[in-house]
């Protein structure tokens, strides 16, 4: 095995077609697509019988540890189109002190902050940009709360594709800077992410930008799907009892749900599924409201606000797919306050030395809340997602100083 085998060795690919997630209508593979004619996300379909014959667990185990090892379950046909920045498999980190303190079962965090550009948006955008390269797309545009734009800018620059990116004007400063540094034209917009999305839609109609918005592009789900593939492989082809996922557009939750179905179809896992828990912020919780109301679609959440900017998504085009996965899995949707998020980030950092992003903190806050209200039991094995490096977010300023010219009271330090 060579370290770059996944990026240099051609492997058989199995995409047969794309399918409307609502109507089931088929669309040809290897063409440029956005939403289906029904205005819904397209899902990539594979010849899973073929994958089953071509791929074994042993063959997979012998490949280098990055997500391109799952090529047979990914849409990129030729290695020349793979755009990679070193997508390491992200570690599962146990939280033993928190486990003891909560008297619970195993708490495991999948730390997605280790990926290129510091967030799991790299998974989706690596795939979206690789497919854009394969399909000859020249100019990609995107509305973003920050991390997706950073990942798009990085991968697109590497592929030689132009990018234009729109952020709400209160997007964290670091995101705007990293997007610009990585070669995109970035604009602050006086609105929320869906207002930015409208601008992208108009630019698409007027000047032919490719719309890379969450779920309006079919391949970001395939990239996020690798979280589910990776997680199952890391657990020796098993799944946890419960997954806490911070849900904005829901790409990751929908992607993992798809991953588990595909893994069962190729005989790698059985029929057990984790209970999928969609975690949102109390200031922007359209999925929680729709879940509680028992409806399939979530109306726009007005005046959305939360410090967890990655999950500040007032309306999601894949709402019904999120809700379907949550309900089919026996999971639920839960909202946590910004105060609880902040307290969670502090607690995990102080107790475990693990700096979460606010969205990751939201999953821990939701876990604690679920233990209290009994929706999750102490015997269940839980995986939560820390989706970005905590270092990308504003941190409290520390004012404590030491004057080295005076006497130092060491015992008091």
Residues near ligand PLP, by CB under 6 A? 119, 121, 147-148, 214, 246-252, 310-311, 357, 359, 387-388
* Pair 74, 254: CB distance under 8 Å: no
Of 134 and 278, the one with the shorter C-beta distance to ligand PLP is: 278
Q: What is 283-332 written as a DSSP string? A: TB-HHHHHHHHT-SS-PPPTT---S-GGG--S--TTHHHHHHHHHHTT-E
Question: Please, which residues have CB within 8 angstroms of residue 18's CB and are 6 or more apart in sequence?
Answer: 26, 27, 28, 29, 33, 42, 43, 44, 45, 218
Q: How far is the CB of 203 from ligand PLP (least distance, A)?
A: 21
Cβ contacts of 413 within 8 Å, gap of 6 or more: none
Question: How would you write 230-247 as a 3-class SS string?
Answer: HHHHHCCCCCCCEEEEEC
Using CA of residue 63, residue 67, residue 70, residue 75, what is the dihedral sign? negative
- Provide the minimum distance between the beta carbon of 244 and ligand PLP in the complex, in angstroms, as a whole number: 12
| CB distance 128 to 142 below 8 Å | no
Q: From residue 177, give the alpha-carbon distance in Å to each of 20, 181, 217, 310, 361.
A: 36, 6, 25, 16, 24
* Cα angle: 146, vertex 124, 204; to 5 degrees: 70
Q: How far is the CB of 209 from ligand PLP (least distance, A)?
A: 20
Measured in degrees and rounded to the nearest 5, phi and psi for residue 275 equal -75, 125
Residue 132 vs 321, nearer CB to ligand PLP: 321
CB of 119 to ligand PLP, least distance (A): 5
The least CB distance from residue 207 to ligand PLP, in Å, is 26
Min CB(318)–ligand PLP separation in Å: 9
Can you state the angle between helices 220-234 and 251-265, rounded to 10 degrees?
Answer: 60
| CB nearer ligand PLP, residue 230 or residue 359 | 359
Would you give the DSSP letter of residue 211?
E
Closest CB to ligand PLP among residues 89, 384: 384
Q: Which is nearer to ligand PLP, 132 or 311 (CB)?
A: 311
Neighbours of 31 (CB within 10 A): 8
Name the residue whose CB lies closest to ligand PLP: 310
Which H/E stretch holds residue 276?
strand 275-281
For ligand PLP, the closer CB: 60 or 174: 174
Q: How far is the CB of 29 from ligand PLP (least distance, A)?
A: 24
CB of 217 to ligand PLP, least distance (A): 12
Minimum CB distance to ligand PLP smaller for 72 or for 111: 111
> What is the C-alpha to C-alpha distance for residues 130 and 147, in angstroms, rounded to an integer?
18
Query: How many CA atoms are closer than 13 Å to the CA of 79, on its beta-carbon side?
Result: 12
Minimum CB separation of residue 249 from ligand PLP in Å reads: 4
Which is closer to ligand PLP, CB of 74 or CB of 388?
388
Q: With respect to ligand PLP, which residue has the nearer C-beta, 352 or 359?
A: 359
């Amino acid at each position: 095995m060579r370290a770059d085998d996944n990026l240099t060795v051609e492997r058989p690919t199995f995409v047969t077609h794309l399918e409307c997630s609502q109507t089931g209508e088929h669309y040809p593979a290897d063409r440029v697509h956005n939403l289906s004619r029904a205005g819904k996300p397209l899902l990539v379909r594979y010849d899973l019988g073929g994958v089953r014959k071509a791929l074994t667990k042993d063959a997979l185990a012998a490949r280098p540890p990055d997500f391109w090892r799952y090529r047979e379950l990914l849409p990129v046909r030729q290695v020349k189109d793979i755009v990679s920045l070193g997508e390491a498999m992200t570690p599962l980190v146990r939280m033993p002190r928190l486990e003891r303190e909560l008297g619970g079962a195993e708490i495991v965090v999948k730390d997605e902050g280790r990926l290129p550009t510091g967030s799991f948006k790299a998974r989706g955008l690596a795939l979206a940009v690789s497919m854009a390269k394969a399909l000859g797309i020249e100019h990609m545009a995107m509305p973003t709360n920050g991390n997706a734009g950073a990942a798009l800018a990085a991968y697109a620059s590497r592929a030689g594709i132009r990018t234009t990116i729109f952020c709400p004007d209160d997007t964290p400063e670091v995101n705007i800077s990293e997007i610009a540094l990585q070669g995109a034209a970035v604009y602050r917009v006086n609105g929320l992410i869906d207002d930015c999305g409208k601008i992208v839609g108009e630019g698409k109609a007027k000047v032919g930008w490719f719309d890379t918005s969450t779920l309006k592009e079919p391949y970001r789900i395939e990239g996020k799907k690798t979280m589910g593939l990776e997680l199952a492989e890391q657990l020796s082809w098993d799944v946890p009892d419960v997954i806490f996922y911070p849900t904005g557009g829901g790409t990751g939750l929908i992607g993992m749900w798809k991953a588990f179905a595909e893994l069962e179809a190729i005989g790698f896992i059985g029929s057990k599924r984790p209970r999928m828990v969609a975690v949102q912020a109390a200031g922007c919780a359209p999925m929680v409201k729709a879940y509680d109301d028992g409806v399939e679609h979530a109306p726009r959440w007005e005046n959305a606000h939360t410090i967890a900017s990655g999950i500040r998504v007032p309306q999601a085009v894949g709402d019904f797919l999120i809700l379907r996965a949550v309900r089919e899995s026996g999971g639920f949707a839960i909202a946590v306050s910004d105060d609880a998020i902040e307290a969670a980030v502090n607690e995990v950092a102080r107790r475990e030395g693990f700096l979460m992003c606010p969205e990751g903190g939201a999953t821990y806050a939701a876990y604690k809340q679920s233990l209290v209200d009994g929706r999750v039991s102490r015997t269940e094995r839980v995986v939560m997602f820390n989706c970005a490096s905590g270092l990308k977010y504003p941190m409290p300023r520390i004012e404590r100083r030491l004057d080295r010219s005076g006497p130092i009271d060491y015992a008091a330090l």
